[in-house]
Amino acid sequence: MNRTLRAFLIAPLWAPALTGLQMFLFGLPRSMGPLDPTEWLLLSLVLSLLLGCAGVWTLGVLIHRLLAARRITALWRHIAIWFAAGLAVRMLLLVATWAPTGGLAFGLSELQGAMQTRPLFLLSGGLAGALMGGTIWLMAGIGRPGALGPSSAK
């Protein structure tokens, strides 16, 4: 298994790790419905892993290929771009979660409210993206000489 593939398999693990950390630090949601706290935690971890995998294997592969095509190898640039992507995905997911309930305007108002009252909630998406991008950069050996292309890292 080459280094890039291994990096793309391991990087999504940051999503459930950060979800678990958030739940530990801030507690479970007040309204859990029919789920007990353990079920809620497990469901959240599984969903965050699935979303992390989906994000890394779609948007992440695109980012990786674009950065490789432009020969961008600096760690800080990878982290900044992945942070922006993670933040954008978190914001889009928030709007998409609330839009079916009250329309797009309601979803956007929820996003605005989150920006004002819970900015760390939104920034955690950027942090997850930055950690995933940094992991891929490190494990795939992007900063090494001769390891620039997606298929050349072994």
For the chain, give the percent of residues with pLDDT over 90.
Answer: 51
Q: Which tops the pLDDT comparison, 46 or 107?
A: 46
Tens-place pLDDT, residues 5-14 = 999 999 999 9
Residue 48: its H or E element? helix 37-55
Amino acid at 47: L
| Mean of pLDDT over the chain | 87
Measured distance CA(53)–CA(75) in Å, rounded: 22
Provide the pLDDT for residue 1.
60
3-state SS, one letter per residue, for 73-131: CCHHHHHHHHHHHHHHHHHHHHHHHHHHHHCHHHHHHHHHHHHHHCHHHHHHHHHHHHH
How deeply is 120 buried, as exposed, middle or buried, from its count of CB atoms within 10 A (0-12, 13-18, 19+)?
exposed
pLDDT beyond 80 at 28: no
Reply yes or no on whether the pLDDT at 36 is more than 90. no
Domain ranges of the chain: 3-17+39-140
d(CA 2, CA 40): 36
Rounded to whole angstroms, how far apart are CA atoms 152 and 154? 6
Give the per-residue pLDDT at 38: 80
